[in-house]
Amino acid sequence: MFFYKHRVRYYETDKMGVAHHSSFVLWFENARVEFLRHFGIDYKGIEDKGFNLAVVEVNGRFLKPVFFDELISVQVNLAKFDGVYAKFDYKVLNEKGETVVRGYTKHLVVNRDLKRSKLPEDIIKKIEKSILKKS
């Protein structure tokens, strides 16, 4: 299973002394891009072709506080995908292996004008073949 590693940064902490709850959205995004890269899908390349996986919903549940300098791991799973819609699930683990955040993001494929679109068939096939069957 794919893990995106992230060192919790000083600027991510707030005056409670823990990582601010907004940080998870950025961790999810970075983990998603690296997850795709890991399976041979270049998100930048998809964008260069004129398509975006626009985020239409994001959800995070915070189970335990996360502290400065912890090395966390973000597990990513592509739960649903049909070329038009995608859902990713995430689980963030701290160094002790405890689950600290759980969440998901939902996406719609859009074109450069931000209108609903569909990924080209070759990219859809590549994602189905490389991710959905292996992960």
Is residue 95 within 8 Å of residue 73, measured between CB atoms? no
Neighbours of 8 (CB within 10 A): 19
Tokens of 134: 């292996």
Contact residue for a second copy among 40, 49, 50, 69 (CB under 8 A): 69
Residue 34 or 127 having the CB closest to a second copy: 34
CA distance 5 to 103: 17
Q: Is 82 in the site for a second copy (CB under 8 A)?
A: no
Q: Is 30 in the site for a second copy (CB under 8 A)?
A: yes
Strand partners, 93: 73, 99
Q: Is 11 in the site for a second copy (CB under 8 A)?
A: yes
Residue 25 or 84 having the CB closest to a second copy: 25
Q: Is 41 in the site for a second copy (CB under 8 A)?
A: no
Contact residue for a second copy among 54, 79, 93, 124 (CB under 8 A): 54
Q: Which residues bind a second copy (CB under 8 A)?
A: 7, 9-11, 13-18, 20-22, 25-26, 29-30, 33-34, 43-44, 47, 52, 54-62, 65, 68-69, 114
